[in-house]
Structure 1
Amino acid sequence: MTRTAYALSYAYLLVSLLTLDCAVTSARNSAPLYAAGLATATLLFVVAAVREHMAADERRAEAVRVERAARLRAMADGREMRRAADTLAHACCERWWTSCGTQHASTCTHTTRKDISR
């Protein structure tokens, strides 16, 4: 939670205590409607403080999820780069690449000779 959110939560709680005191004072002085209104305001301030904490937890959880997804994406990119490097390291001749693996150059060491006598 940020400092601003903490300050806002504490302000909500302080105002709720103040309105609760006003509600009690109104009830003692025979003003039930004012007491009910101030008690409702007290509950709303407490709900706002709790909501502020819940929102901070949700933001923190979302930040963790985004960071984890970024790390997984980076690991996947690294695997793809290693796979491409491995494929290029085991590459055959240029003719093999351009013919989609159907022909080899005459100087290629991977050339398989076909027996034409059959």
Structure 2
Amino acid sequence: MARASMVGTVALVAVFYCLVVAAPLSVEGVVTCEQVISDLSPCATYLINGGTVPSDCCSGVTSLNSAATTTDDRQAVCRCTEQTVTTLPGINLDNVRSLPGKCGLDIDFNISLNTDCSK
């Protein structure tokens, strides 16, 4: 179950990197990989199995989206995802793509786990 939790966390990180890409650019970032994992770990079960999204998952998603407001923050979220997503199988990409909407966030781009963190 711990492995499933980490897998879900990683996929959600990718989702929220995509969410924050559209945020305004600033000078300095502060989001850590530990923060990303902490905010998104409640989403693991949904990302793997679907079903009902836990309220603490949406709270974490909203928190991370609010925290990642700078270019450095968004790149940190992306790098955290990039470092772990390829080693953790089991994520359902359709669940990843549906999560923002299920948490009340409206995004206007396709979520991908192949994002270039430098852009």
TM-score class, shorter: under 0.3
Q: Which has the higher helix share?
A: 1
Larger radius of gyration: 1
TM-score, scaled relative to structure 2:
0.25
TM-score, scaled relative to structure 1:
0.25
